[in-house]
């Protein structure tokens, strides 16, 4: 018995460590590349660490404050992504509850129809989407970034799937106690799906943070742009990576906030929730 656990422990370690090494090397290589000069990047041979560590890439990025107010962009992104994430959590928890635990006619048909529609790749949809944003007066405002994404089906699907895994006995016993749907939603279901809401929140934040196609279309004001769209302005017209170290540096600067958020979220989406004991209690 004890032996079994130790074998499986070593297997688990072996698997994880091998994977982590494979995953970490490119990340480290990317980070160290941001401290390399172009001459070093293009010199033959693979070196994980730079021969000469230079800060030039970062000073160039951060120094270019007139055309590229990168700190401002970071603040814009922070506002957009936070507002978006907050609203996403409200919308998906309500909607997910509606599609999994309420009974109304055509519920599943409606849900799957919406999901199906959302599977159509939007290519030229850009044009009508822009027209809608324009009609709402949202061009060049943060709302164009915050609101449309709330319509997405992915997170609702995930929340619905999670809620389906919660035993119905829970609602029923609450209902017997005289609770209505809002009460069950708020005090029975919400606490139970907190981990998945945190996961969805994390995904939404990162998704909103990393979106670069849409902000390029809806923003004209450099000062109002989120950071990913702004960083595109630093690349050259031909989309070439003329300065490899700089591109790496800007990518790393842009991911610091999302990484911090991840570290924070990590503590919370693994809260133990014991469904079975919940029923007993």
User: What residues numbered 52-71 form the site for another protein, per CB under 8 A?
Assistant: 64, 66-67
Exactly one of 62, 78, 170, 232 binds another protein (CB under 8 A); that residue is 232
Answer for the pair 84, 208: CB distance below 8 angstroms, yes or no.
Answer: yes
Contacts of 212 (CB under 8 A, 6+ apart): 228, 229, 232
Exactly one of 49, 71, 75, 213 binds another protein (CB under 8 A); that residue is 213
CB of 139 to another protein, least distance (A): 6
Query: How does DSSP assign 92-139, residue by residue?
Result: HHHHHHHHHH---TTHHHHHHHHHHHHTS--STTHHHHHHHHHHTT-T
Q: Compute the C-alpha angle 16/20/23, nearest 5°.
A: 140
| Residue 174 binds to another protein (criterion: CB under 8 A) | no
CB of 103 to another protein, least distance (A): 8
| Residue 147 binds to another protein (criterion: CB under 8 A) | yes
Q: Match 């031909």 to its residue by tokens.
A: 238
Contacts of 74 (CB under 8 A, 6+ apart): 227, 253, 254, 257
CB of 108 to another protein, least distance (A): 11
CB of 138 to another protein, least distance (A): 5
| Residue 38 binds to another protein (criterion: CB under 8 A) | yes
| Residue 145 binds to another protein (criterion: CB under 8 A) | no
Mark 93-132 with x for binding to another protein (rule: CB under 8 A) and - for no binding. Answer: -xx-xxx--xxx--x--x-x-x-xxxxxxxxxxxxxxxxx
- Is the torsion defined by CA of 97, 99, 103, 105 positive or negative? positive
Stretch that binds another protein, among 73-81, 168-176, 182-190 (CB under 8 A): 182-190
């Amino acid at each position: 018995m004890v032996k079994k656990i130790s074998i499986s422990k070593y297997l688990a370690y072996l698997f994880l460590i091998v994977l982590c090494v494979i995953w970490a090397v490119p990340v480290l290589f990317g980070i160290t590349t941001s401290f390399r000069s172009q001459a070093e990047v293009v010199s033959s041979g693979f070196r994980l660490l730079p021969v000469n560590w230079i800060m030039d890439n970062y000073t160039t990025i951060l120094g270019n404050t007139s055309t590229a107010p990168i700190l401002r962009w970071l603040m814009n992104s922070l506002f957009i992504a936070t507002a978006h994430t907050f609203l996403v959590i409200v919308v998906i928890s309500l909607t997910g509850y509606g599609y999994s635990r309420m009974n109304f006619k055509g519920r599943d048909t409606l849900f799957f129809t919406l999901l199906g529609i959302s599977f159509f790749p939007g290519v030229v949809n850009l044009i009508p989407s822009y027209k809608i944003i324009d009609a709402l007066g949202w061009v060049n405002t943060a709302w164009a970034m915050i609101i449309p994404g709330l319509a997405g089906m992915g997170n609702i699907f995930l929340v619905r799937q999670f809620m389906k895994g919660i035993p119905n006995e829970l609602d029923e016993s609450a209902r017997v106690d005289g609770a209505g749907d809002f009460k069950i939603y708020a005090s029975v279901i919400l606490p139970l799906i907190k981990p998945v809401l945190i996961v969805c929140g994390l995904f939404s934040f990162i998704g909103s943070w990393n979106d670069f196609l849409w902000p390029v279309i809806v923003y004209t004001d450099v000062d109002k742009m989120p950071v990913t769209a702004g960083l595109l302005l630093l690349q050259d017209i031909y989309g070439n990576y003329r300065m490899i170290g700089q591109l790496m540096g800007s990518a790393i600067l842009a991911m610091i906030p999302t990484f911090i958020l991840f570290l924070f979220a990590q503590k919370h989406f693994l809260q133990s929730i014991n469904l079975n004991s919940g029923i007993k209690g």
